[in-house]
Amino acid sequence: MDLFEIKAEIAPVSVEETDNLLLELGIEGWSLLEDVIAKRAWVVGIFQSDAETRKQWDALKPLLPVAPVSEAALRSLGNSDWRDSYKAHFKAWRFGRLHWVPVWERETFVLPAGEEVIWLDPGLAFGTGNHETTRLCVERLVELPFDAETRVIDAGCGSGILALSAAKLGYKNVAGFDNDPEAVRVSIENAELNNMAGRVDFYTGDLVTGLAGRKAGIVMANILANVLIEFARELVAAVAPGGALVLSGILAEENTQVREVFAKIAPQWEIEHRTMGEWSDVLLRAPAL
């Protein structure tokens, strides 16, 4: 029997309320798909006929706490199991010696000698790592000069992909924090999924409390441009002499503004940037003492 999927993007701020709504309705077939890193979310329904799928969506849409941010897309899944519909969104990728692979490929994936893998599980809201903002950060992390003793902080860790990637690369002292306790919980679950329980110090905090009294040789912040600008001084202050600050979550059109703000706060630092699709990053290097 063919299955049909209907999918609509919703505002991330409405995820909790939407989740509660779906639980209250108790209708089998509805679920939430969330990419914590990219800060995007979708409500997804899978039913046994075109007519039933449309009927369920027409009933659910007016009940949503916030109107969807995209039109609902309906498609046939053929005879596939409903879980297969997620697999279209999660593809293995690599950069340098680090691979990010969906957990369902665990039995068949062959890891080249000397390389490392992070297992991704969309059921844990891990995100694919494929979003441009994540890839920009990961590529910077892989390219930076490696010293296992360098302390790494992932500010606004989301689901933990950047912090766990740093640990997989061999950094011994890695921390990640987020102002959302749920993101911290998911990060810890993802560490367990990768047999890395306790390898990263995940904790709850914002860009003030999370960085207070801490300095690191590498600070990563994949957030949003306006937040990076607001907390620019805190981020700069957290970088140790000779260290690097990796900023992402910046739309390409916002990059100049972000660089100008950080250049005023840290005028002696080297600054570079690059673009990937509609997104961009900024890399700042602090002078050594």
Residue-wise pLDDT for 95-121, tens only, equals 899 998 888 888 899 999 999 999 987
Q: Which two tokens stand for residue 191?
A: 């560490």
Amino acid at 173: N
CATH 3.40.50.150: which residues of the chain?
128-285
Contact 273/282 with Cβ under 8 angstroms?
A: yes
Q: Say if residue 3's pLDDT is above 90.
A: no
Q: What is the pLDDT of residue 273?
A: 97
Report the pLDDT value the prediction gives residue 115, as an integer from 0 to 100.
Answer: 93
Distances (CA, A) of 38 to 46, 61, 129: 24, 24, 9
Kindly tell me if the per-residue pLDDT of 128 is higher than 70.
no
Q: pTM for this one?
A: 0.73
128-285: CATH homologous superfamily? Answer: Vaccinia Virus protein VP39 (3.40.50.150)
> Tokens 């921390």 correspond to what residue?
175
CA 151 – CA 219 distance, rounded (Å): 9
Q: Given a cut of 80, is residue 268 above it in pLDDT? A: yes
CA distance 239 to 216: 5
Report which secondary-structure segment, H or E, holds 144: none
Q: What is the CA radius of gyration of the chain?
A: 20
Question: Would you say how long the chain is, in residues?
Answer: 289
In whole numbers, what is the pLDDT of the chain averaged over residues?
A: 88
CATH 3.40.50.720 fits 3-86, yes or no: no
> Between these two residues, 13 and 154, which has the higher pLDDT value?
154
Answer yes or no: are the C-beta atoms of 57 and 25 closer than 8 Å.
no
